[in-house]
Amino acid sequence: MTPKQSIPPILRPDLVTPVPLEVFATRFNLEVVGNPETVLLTGISMNTGDLRPGDLFVAMPGIKTHGANFIAKAIEQGAVAVVTDSEGLELLHGIAIPVMRLEEPRTHLGELAAFVYGNTEGNMPLLFGTTGTNGKTSTSYLLEGILRQLGRTTGLTSTAERHIAGEVIVSRLTTPESPEMQALIARMREKGVTDVAIEVSAQALTQLRVDGLVFDVAGFTNLSHDHFDDYDGFDDYLSAKAKLFTKEKSKKAVVCLDTVYGKRIAERSEVPVTTISMNPEDGAHWNVRILAELPGKTEFELTGPQGQQLVSSVPILGAHMASNAGLAIVMAATAGYDFKDIAKALANGIDAYLPGRTELVSPVGAPFVYVDFGHSPDAFLNTLAAVRKVTKGKVLMLFGADGDRDASKRPEMARVAAAGCDILVITDHHPRFENPASIRKALVEAAREFRPELEIHEVSPPEAAIRLAVSLVGTGDAILWAGPGHQDYRDIEGVRTPYSARSEAREALKEAGYK
């Protein structure tokens, strides 16, 4: 079996001002059992796998067991104090470090971590949080690029990467758990970061991962069918996203009205809302108009409620990417940056690299091969339409579906793919613990039922699928490989097997004779 790929470590500041346990306990009105007088906190952890000497260990109830069962290991690794609930206290006997009781500790975890790391009001960079089904990663990257062009020192945390003042680190989760998030923000502060773009997933909101943060500007891209294994339909999924637009989580909001759910978010928002749309009939404050769509660039015009106007471009294919760029620009303006300065900075385009987002990986003279992270029906619809618009020849769609994830969206993914391409190749993605053959079978059946005349191929593994795809097209044609995007592994039975769709696509083209 291929060795399990290592998970990137949690990022923490190099230096932390120690917090006396007595000060910590007083701040949160906690009674300390044991002597707190000489105890200094330099970190916080909910997981012994990431615990470091000087940490406060937060022992919480889990799905299978209680964190208090790991207290001996936590102490061995250097924990200097414990916070736990009544259930956890019953499991702790004769330990040598101070203990504090706090019921429902997860609901306080973000606030506890923020205090330990010094992420307090008046001591924070500007925080921008973007949520939505599709486009939140792209918007975050574009926003970071815009802020950088305005001369700011930027940070970013997304599905793909963490950025800290120019340093790039592979991500662990789309939105980290709150102790990791607070440690990351503290490290950014330490490195002089002034503005942070944060991708905020629905799971991050419902699992309290962004607790302890207040976003200066929150952004909403869109909402479509995804994650229905975690949420009970659109209303439940929308309610999860709407948590970002409460007074507890943000100060101002920018909401895209390109999907019907944008209006619902705007209506539910507890903070002032600015709206943006690609459709003038939506009545939004700001409007995006497409000027040109090219294989490696999309030009657009943005107009505002007081006649503000700029013309710029994104270095990527697709009208939906211009929509994301418009959202990012208005978020920057809503944060207080002068629109004239923004227009001047972006006159020659937004300088941003979006890994695995409709990324063109083929050389000149070869068929266009785009690798994309999209893994929902709506993402397929937008990206296929964008590829079709700039392709003179055939469009081949190559994709697979996640195992052990929302199976309800698979038939619609297959139908959208079949509707938008000339040739369809179905392969494997992250099977996890599900049988990959059964996933492929469901996709093929849905595609054939919807469009029986379409040329459909079922190929496993994806290394073979991309080589078949290349053999079926020629110069002037295009391949859209949806799903893997920037990722450098495949999850097979819990093992992160090293793998790069970008590298495989380039190698397949090289083997076919394209230099």
Same domain? For 327 and 304 the reply is: yes
pLDDT band at 450 (very low <50, low <70, confident <90, very high): very high
pLDDT band at 307 (very low <50, low <70, confident <90, very high): very high
d(CA 84, CA 333) in angstroms, rounded, equals 43
Same domain? For 41 and 179 the reply is: no
d(CA 474, CA 351) in angstroms, rounded, equals 31
pLDDT at position 381 over 80: yes
Does residue 12 form part of some domain? no
Structural domain that includes position 91? 19-117
Most confident of 62-71, 336-345, 366-375: 336-345
- In terms of Cβ atoms closer than 10 Å to its own Cβ (0-12, 13-18, 19+), residue 76 is exposed
Quick one: average pLDDT of 14-31? Answer: 96
Does residue 2 form part of some domain? no
| Sign of torsion over alpha carbons 69, 72, 74, 75 | positive
State the pLDDT at residue 4: 40
Same domain? For 166 and 312 the reply is: yes
Same domain? For 130 and 113 the reply is: no
CATH number of the domain at 165, please: 3.40.1190.10
**Are the beta carbons of 154 and 148 closer than 8 angstroms?**
yes
Same domain? For 297 and 150 the reply is: yes
Two tokens at 453?
Answer: 């005349």
d(CA 198, CA 175) in angstroms, rounded, equals 8
Same domain? For 211 and 257 the reply is: yes
CATH number of the domain at 59, please: 3.40.1390.10
d(CA 304, CA 307) in angstroms, rounded, equals 5
Quick one: average pLDDT of 296-325? Answer: 95
Look at residues 276, 310, 345 and tell me which one is the last residue of a structural domain: 345
Same domain? For 467 and 399 the reply is: yes
Q: Where are the alpha helices (DSSP H) in 77-177?
A: 86-91, 109-117, 136-149
Q: Which residues contact 187 (CB under 8 A, 6 or more apart)?
A: 11, 12, 13, 14, 164
Give percent of the chain with pLDDT exceeding 90: 80
**Are the beta carbons of 88 and 103 closer than 8 angstroms?**
no
State the pLDDT at residue 226: 62
pLDDT band at 3 (very low <50, low <70, confident <90, very high): very low
State the pLDDT at residue 1: 31
Q: Which of 78-87, 138-147, 161-170 shows the lowest per-residue confidence on average (mean pLDDT)?
A: 161-170
Same domain? For 378 and 469 the reply is: yes
pLDDT band at 8 (very low <50, low <70, confident <90, very high): low
Same domain? For 157 and 245 the reply is: yes
Does residue 271 form part of some domain? yes
Number of neighbouring beta carbons within 10 Å of residue 29: 7
Does residue 420 form part of some domain? yes
Task: Say how many domains are in the chain.
Answer: 3
Mean of all residue pLDDT scores within the chain: 93
pLDDT at position 7 over 80: no
Q: What is the pTM of this model?
A: 0.87
Q: CA distances (Å), 262 to each of 217, 220, 506, in order?
A: 16, 7, 38
Look at residues 77, 94, 117 and tell me which one is the last residue of a structural domain: 117
Report pLDDT digits (tens) over 190-239.
999 999 999 999 889 989 999 999 999 999 998 876 655 666 677 888 88
State the pLDDT at residue 488: 84
Q: CA distances (Å), 393 to each of 293, 389, 425, in order?
A: 16, 10, 17
Does residue 11 form part of some domain? no
d(CA 379, CA 222) in angstroms, rounded, equals 11
404: left (phi over 0), alpha (psi -120 to 50) or beta: left
CATH number of the domain at 400, please: 3.90.190.20
Say how many Å lie between the first and final Cα of the chain, rounded.
34
Same domain? For 506 and 428 the reply is: yes
Does residue 1 form part of some domain? no
3-class secondary-structure state, position 105: helix
Same domain? For 43 and 70 the reply is: yes
Same domain? For 113 and 136 the reply is: no
Look at residues 345, 370, 405 and tell me which one is the last residue of a structural domain: 345
pLDDT band at 244 (very low <50, low <70, confident <90, very high): very high
d(CA 61, CA 83) in angstroms, rounded, equals 12
Report pLDDT digits (tens) over 249-264.
999 999 999 998 999 9
State the pLDDT at residue 6: 47
Report pLDDT digits (tens) over 476-507.
999 999 988 888 889 899 898 998 999 999 99
Does residue 10 form part of some domain? no
Does residue 3 form part of some domain? no
Report pLDDT digits (tens) over 155-184.
999 988 899 999 998 775 556 789 999 999
Two tokens at 141?
Answer: 């990257």
